[in-house]
Amino acid sequence: MSGVLLSVVLPTYNEAANVPLIVERLERALQGIPHETIVADDDSPDGTWRIASELSARYPALRSLRRTRERGLYPAVLEAFALARGEYLAVLDADLQHDESRLPAMLELARARGLQLVVGSRHAPGGGIEGWGRTRRLISRAANLLSSLLLSRGSSDLMSGFFLVERSAFLAAAPRLTPKGFKILMDLLQNLPPGAQTGEVGYVFRPRTLGESKLDARVAGQFFAALAGLSLKRFARR
């Protein structure tokens, strides 16, 4: 046994300014919880991986993974999960928009109720979104409603990049995953082992203050393409 209860993965690209901040916040939020943090960086031109490596001298629980092949958020998460030692595996963005202080609550919920996956949701009780207009909120709600109708396992926030999964459940699902685009949560939900239980913890999504957003029309297109592909697989199994 490694003694690590929780492995937190930060998939990054050009987040050099944010990495020192999120690592410090994680250390503060996870005090008393045996954990590790893995920065899985896609060889960022701004040297994010180098900053993370230098920070590991100050934070022994921090590891830096510099990725030079098969780049992308989903493959980065899977590669980091393969290196992780924790009983539970968590993912959140390094841009400070996800609320790292909710991780202990997500972990506690998973352990207390025997859940295999817990989603950090903007739409669950206690959740919210700062800085979004009414139209963008409605689009997000509609996308999640459509997803809940098409998929076998849903969530109030399928576009969330903030979740925690039990290692054994992830390993059971891994052979069936297709690591493309940004659909990792949807993919995991559809491929969890039979009988797996899921839950949600609300959090408030914060505006980005440093760096550039990765969310654009291409990412939205990937989401809906992934939704269509997964729903077709679901009906093909029937």
Residue 60's pLDDT is 94
What per-residue confidence (pLDDT) applies to 153?
Answer: 62
pLDDT at 137: 65
Return the pLDDT at 178.
86
Predicted confidence at residue 235, as pLDDT, reads 47
Picking from 118, 97, 92, the residue whose alpha carbon sits closest to that of residue 106 is 118
Where exactly are the structural domains of the chain?
Answer: 6-237
pLDDT of 155: 79
Note the pLDDT of residue 156: 81
Fold of 6-237: Spore Coat Polysaccharide Biosynthesis Protein SpsA; Chain A (3.90.550)
pLDDT tens-digit profile of 26-67? Answer: 999 999 999 999 999 999 999 999 999 999 999 999 999 999
Positions of the chain with pLDDT lower than 70, given as ranges? 1, 131-154, 181-182, 210-238
Q: Are 8 and 90 in contact (CB under 8 A)?
A: yes
